[in-house]
Structure 1
Amino acid sequence: MAGHETHYTLPRPEFDKPVKLLIVVAPYYKDIADNLVAGAKAEIEGVGGSWDLVEVPGALEVPTAIAMADRQSNFDGYVALGCVIRGETTHYDTVCNDSSRAIQLMGLQGLCIGNGILTVETRPQAEVRADPGAMNKGGGAAAAALHLIALGRKWGASRKDVGFRPKADDILLAEDKNGSRTA
């Protein structure tokens, strides 16, 4: 059973400047969502970070809220939380695939997002995964976001003239017949 496997967990990242994350949760299954949020909060506070929390109606709205916050606010990263339990229709597949795809696309654009939207077959599977004392997937999602923030700060801290990025004064837009630069 997956609940009994052991996995390697990276040590918590350390930050020299404060981090602030937005936790976006779909509380459709309120007790499960509350446990996911508790795990995420504890992980963020464990590195000295702060968080804000917003609730959205369902898992499909989580990526939209993150995109809105990214355009209109100043968060370092995001934690996506919710739970989708397989039902009798294919709606489960749509919600799982589309919410995950949207989160992944935003991540590929540079957002630091930990995806803790549970996609499970049964409620007991969700309960053990959400429980901060068991699998703690909320804490894991927050840890993922924190590690991505740390990576972004590490790589974004020093700007070197490498690759194909020209220096600003070396950009030549056009030349006239006499070799003079024109814009």
Structure 2
Amino acid sequence: MAQAETHHELPLPRFEKPVKVLIVQSPYYKDIADGLLTGAKAVLEAAGASFEVVHVPGALEIPPAIRIAHVQSNFDGYVALGCVIRGETSHYETVCNDSSHGLMLLGLQGACLGNGILTVENKDQALVRADPEGQNKGGGAAAAALHLIALSRRYATQTKGVGFKPRGETIQLADGGESPSRA
């Protein structure tokens, strides 16, 4: 049973500068969404992150909402929370695939996000996964976003050494000598 599974969880990253996260939640299944949100908030608070919560109608609206905020606001990361339960039609596959694909594209474009959109066969599975005292998938999504924010900050200060040196810096020559830059 999925509830008995155990997983290794990385310790939450520590931040020197404040972290601001947007939680985008679809409360389509409100009891499930509330559990996901409780778990996500607890993890963000434990890491000292500030956060804002916005609501959208369904899982398909979560990626566009994150994209709007990513382009037009100053959030460090995003947490996507929602639930898709299999029904009698192929709509389930469309919603699961398109919402997941939209989030992946945002991540590949540099958005630091955690995917907490549950895709399940029935409500019982969703309740176990959403429960903050159970599998806590909302908390897991928040932790994922925090880890990506930390990784992004780690590499943001490093340069690849390509380009021109600013005027006044010396350049190391191949023969071991130095030359002032002429930039």
Cα distance in 2, alignment partners of residues 13 and 21 from structure 1: 14
Deviations 1:106-150 (A, max 9, x none): 101111010000000000000010000000000000000000000
Q: Residue 155 of structure 1 aligns with which residue?
A: 155
Give the TM-score of the pair, scaled to structure 2: 0.89
Deviation at 1:5, TM superposition (A): 1.0
Counting aligned pairs with the same residue, the percent is 66
Given the alignment, which residue of 163, 167, 172 partners 2:164?
167
Deviations 1:75-113 (A, max 9, x none): 000000000000000000000000000100110111101
Q: Residue 18 of structure 2 aligns with which residue?
A: 18
Aligned AA for 2:145?
A
Q: Residue 37 of structure 1 aligns with which residue?
A: 37
Aligned residues: 167
Deviation at 1:158, TM superposition (A): 2.5
Q: Residue 85 of structure 2 aligns with which residue?
A: 85
1:119 pairs with 2:119: yes
Deviation at 1:166, TM superposition (A): 1.9
- Root-mean-square deviation (CA, aligned residues, Å) is 1.3
Deviation at 1:157, TM superposition (A): 1.9
1:97 pairs with 2:94: no
| Secondary structure of 2:59 counterpart | coil
Q: Residue 74 of structure 1 aligns with which residue?
A: 74
Q: Which runs of 4+ in 1 moved over 3 A?
A: none
Deviations 1:24-77 (A, max 9, x none): 001000010011011001100101110000000000000000000011110000
Cα distance in 1, alignment partners of residues 159 and 84 from structure 2: 42
Change in CA separation of 1:18 and 1:120 when aligned onto 2, cut-off 3 Å: same
Give the TM-score of the pair, scaled to structure 1: 0.89
Deviation at 1:159, TM superposition (A): 2.5
